Amino acid sequence: MAPSYEEVSRESGSLEDEEKTSFLPHQSRAREPSTYTQRQPWLWTLIGLNLVVLLCSLATLFLAFSVRSEPAAQATERNALLKQTSAYSPILDEFDIPLKMVHSKVSFLDNSSIYTSLPSDEVDAAWETLAPLQRVYLTTEQVIKLGKDPALTVRANNNPDLHIGVLNGMHEIHCLNVIRQNLHRDYYWPDGIRSPVHWIHLYHCVDLVLQALMCSGNVDVVTYNWMETQPDPFFDFSINRMCRDFDHILEWQKTGLSNETDDAWRVGGETEIPAPPLLKAMNAQDSQSRVFTHDDPALTGSIGV
């Protein structure tokens, strides 16, 4: 029993000593800096890098979500892809215009198309069918979206709330037809050019078609072949094109637009834009008095009113 008692006594003494000393003031002693404290700058650098990676990951996730959700949003909007590559046109909200891949079979030596055939009534009818200049009726809001002043645009007399227009694509084809006709002036104007506006109209059409081609910025690639009898590489104009379905556009124009052409006439009091001096000079000419050439003073502007 004694050893056990003695052990307890020693422990009790130790506790007593500790209790006594615990009330004594402690002497402060300097601590050596720990390894953890020394490495703190590197830790903050690591945390900063992790935050940067996290922010980049969140940004990438957000962009990926946006890109994935964009096609879904476009799917609900009519002609969404075409609107991204077009200026505003109310026609893009009227009907769906499909895109289709077309293999263009164009040969330098093949003029079998009716559109490139020699002039005839059949050829003229084909070109007229290809580009009917039918009326498009626009609201004032649509005219403003087109960047036009509704106070100056012509309104339909039978419906003054609507403004009249035509599809520019059809006008461009009309201009190409004018250029074609001028390749055969003896057929279309056997008595010579009797209109002082003829050449202005022709050069306007050349400029308009050029602007349309430059605006499209076609980057399709034409390759070459070696052809018998030809010393130089020969063009192969057969290419693949991604096209708007023109037949679909033409069908909509024929069925969805009015054939009315006599729907706008002067009633007096219309706001007019000023006529250029050259137009005044040409209007003053007698179209039956002489033949007008491409270098006519009425064209060059050196003739007086």
3-state secondary structure labels for all residues of 37-54: HHCHHHHHHHHHHHHHHH
pTM, full prediction: 0.71
Q: Can you give the pLDDT at residue 35?
A: 53
Per-residue pLDDT reduced to its tens digit, 190-215: 998 888 888 889 999 999 999 999 99
- What's the pLDDT score for residue 75? 59
Would you give the end-to-end CA distance of the chain in angstroms? 144
- The residues of the chain scoring below 70 in pLDDT are 1-42, 66-75, 259, 261, 296-305
For residue range 171-180, what is the model confidence (pLDDT) as tens digits? 999 999 999 9
Give the separation between CA 137 and CA 167, rounded to whole angstroms. 11
Residues 6+ apart with CB under 8 A from 187: 119
